[in-house]
């Protein structure tokens, strides 16, 4: 069974930084991609960033490009999201997820692309 556990959320002032972690366990992840999504109150869940376990290929949404960095530690089976220059509009519950299919090359922005999700970690950015 696959399990994803996020941590690292909290309250931070605008302009500050946080690093989120997603610890993965279960079946091998080496051929899959991982992603971070977020969901603000009253809004749909939206794509933030993704990374492939094998070669570290990354994608970012325009809203976080240049401020957030996704990375992975293959040995530790952990994916990170370094968030800098945080803004109040970054306030949301952040989720990590794994693609349903290995060697995926489709739409990373679609929540239907992913079959395993973590429980989420809250990030609040105060102005």
Give the integer Cα–Cα distance in Å for 103 and 101.
7
Predicted local distance difference test score (pLDDT) of residue 35: 97
The series of mean pLDDT values per 10 residues for the chain, 127 residues long, is 95 98 85 95 97 92 98 93 98 96 88 95 97
Per-residue confidence (pLDDT) for residue 109, from 0 to 100: 93
- pLDDT for the residue 28: 65
Cα–Cα dist 91/40, whole Å: 6
Distance (Å, whole) CA 93 – CA 24? 18
44: left (phi over 0), alpha (psi -120 to 50) or beta: beta
pLDDT of 57 reads 93
Helix, strand or coil, per DSSP, at residue 107: coil
């Amino acid at each position: 069974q696959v399990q994803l556990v996020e941590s690292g959320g909290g309250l931070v002032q605008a302009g500050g930084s946080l690093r989120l972690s997603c610890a993965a366990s279960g079946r091998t992840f080496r051929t899959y991609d991982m992603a971070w999504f977020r969901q603000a109150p009253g809004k749909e869940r939206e794509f933030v960033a993704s990374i492939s376990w094998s070669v570290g290929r990354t994608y970012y949404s325009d809203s976080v490009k240049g401020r957030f960095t996704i990375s992975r530690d293959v040995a530790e089976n952990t994916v990170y999201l370094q968030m800098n220059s945080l803004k109040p509009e970054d306030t949301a519950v952040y989720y990590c997820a794994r693609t349903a299919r290995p060697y995926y090359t489709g739409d990373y922005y679609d929540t239907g692309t992913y079959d395993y999700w973590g429980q989420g970690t809250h990030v609040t950015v105060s102005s």
